[in-house]
Amino acid sequence: MDKLACGLVLVATLGAGACQSATLQDEGTAPPYLLEAGGQPAAIDSAITLTFPGAEGSGLILNADICGGEVYLLAPAHKYVQVGDLVSGVVGRHIGKPGNGPEDFRRPVSLGVDCSARKVYVAEGKGGVLAFRMEDGQYENTYPHAPEFRTSMGTRTVVATDGSGLILSGLWSPQPGHSWTVGDGMFKGHQVGLRLHLSDPSGRPVAAAYERDCNTDLTACLRADVQPIDAGGGWVVAHASSTRIVVLDSTGAMLRAIDIRSPEFLRDGTTPDEPTEAQLEWGTTNSTIWGLYAIGDRIAVVHSRNGTKNWRRGQVMQFDVFMNLYSLNGDHLVSDVRLPGLPVGRDGEHLLVIDYGLAGRRHNATQVTLARIPLQSGTPVSLQ
């Protein structure tokens, strides 16, 4: 049996493994994986072409959530939620609008939907979460949260299974108005994640930050991803700047750390200079974590590198995007499956990815493809 076929069988039959040490180490080489995909493309379970008839086009979509026969899309620069029909593929209506009123979007950064309650939630970078009725887009309420919390751009807003609250990804600073300084000690005393009960005006953190320092580009330093485990009773957390993720119990205590380095997860040992151009150029030869998804008994970590060299202001950044898979027990299952674009969300058993086609990511795309990458528990990972 060749290496690829053997790897697929092993992933399909893997049982529970021993917990890894929670000691956070950067030394040494990347750990071995049961299957090293080497950048082979992921198989696509299904795909639909979404058409944007409006003059603004698709925008740069960072979130997508599916409810019934509709998909809800957030391209933050548009400052409204786009709603597409999954049968026709037409993105034909909007929810919300830009402005300065209590019902308006100022800096939307994260989307979540509650199919049972028929609600659409949009988190602002600071200040709270706006709620709208799914059917007609009518604004209903704003749920404020503590000013010390900063929601991370493009992460998922998760609705609690009982509908009583929301889970947001992001960072808690020691005090309101904190100045974020990249470097040693950046995360000292910080916390991650927000559990926001809809009757509680402030919310509370999920856990303490597990890293202390950040020496990557600013975008990665300011992004923390916190996702509940599907089976309940715990969390997976990622600092986008880190080379590891952590699995936590329901109290936020660390169970294990997982080293997520792989052949395509690159770090050259340098730190970027301050100018934006220098930081983005650093990202062409260094990887950071873009997405974190706990689906069934698997953890999907999406990592990326900047694909536009010598970037200049006004250009849209392209990305080289890969996915690594792990078990909840920390087993290294699959490394470096290439994705057709950045992930934007998940459904029950799939990763959702937006593919802009050969022309690449762009604000004014009139058509994009929403692809569903299968990640069913207990089955092989498919490659094209």
Burial of 161 (0-12, 13-18, 19+ CB in 10 A): exposed
Please, are residues 208 and 236 in contact by the beta-carbon 8 Å criterion? no
Lowest mean pLDDT among 54-58, 206-210, 276-280: 54-58
pLDDT for res 164: 85
Cα–Cα distance list, 335 to 33, 87, 225, 235, 252 (Å): 6, 34, 20, 22, 27
In this predicted model, what pLDDT tens digit does every residue of 103-123 receive, in sequence order?
999 999 999 999 999 999 999
pLDDT for res 15: 29
Helix and strand tally (H, E) in the chain? 3, 26
In this predicted model, what pLDDT tens digit does every residue of 251-272 receive, in sequence order?
999 999 999 999 999 999 999 9
pLDDT for res 383: 63
Please, are residues 100 and 127 in contact by the beta-carbon 8 Å criterion? no
Q: Quote the CATH superfamily of domain 3-374.
A: TolB, C-terminal domain (2.120.10.30)
For the chain, domain boundaries:
3-374
Mean pLDDT calculated for residue range 362-381: 84
β-strand pairing of 204-208 with 343-346: unpaired
pLDDT at 65 over 90: yes
What mean pLDDT is reported for the chain? 89
Residues 6+ apart with CB under 8 A from 57: 362, 363, 364, 365, 366
In this predicted model, what pLDDT tens digit does every residue of 24-53 receive, in sequence order?
334 567 889 999 999 999 999 999 999 999
d(CA 253, CA 246): 10
d(CA 381, CA 160): 28
Mean pLDDT calculated for residue range 81-100: 96
Which pLDDT band, with edges at 50, 70 and 90, does 23 fall under? Answer: very low
Candidates 336, 319, 343; CA nearest to 155 is 343
pLDDT for res 184: 92
pLDDT at 367 over 70: yes
In this predicted model, what pLDDT tens digit does every residue of 308-317 receive, in sequence order?
999 999 999 9
pLDDT for res 382: 57
pLDDT at 230 over 90: no
In this predicted model, what pLDDT tens digit does every residue of 175-227 receive, in sequence order?
777 788 898 999 999 999 999 999 887 899 999 999 999 999 999 999 999 99
Mean pLDDT calculated for residue range 146-160: 93
Rg from Cα positions in the chain: 20
Q: What percent of the chain has pLDDT over 70?
A: 90
> Cα-flanking dihedrals φ and ψ of residue 228, to 5°?
-75, 150
Cα–Cα distance list, 56 to 7, 83, 281, 365 (Å): 45, 14, 29, 8
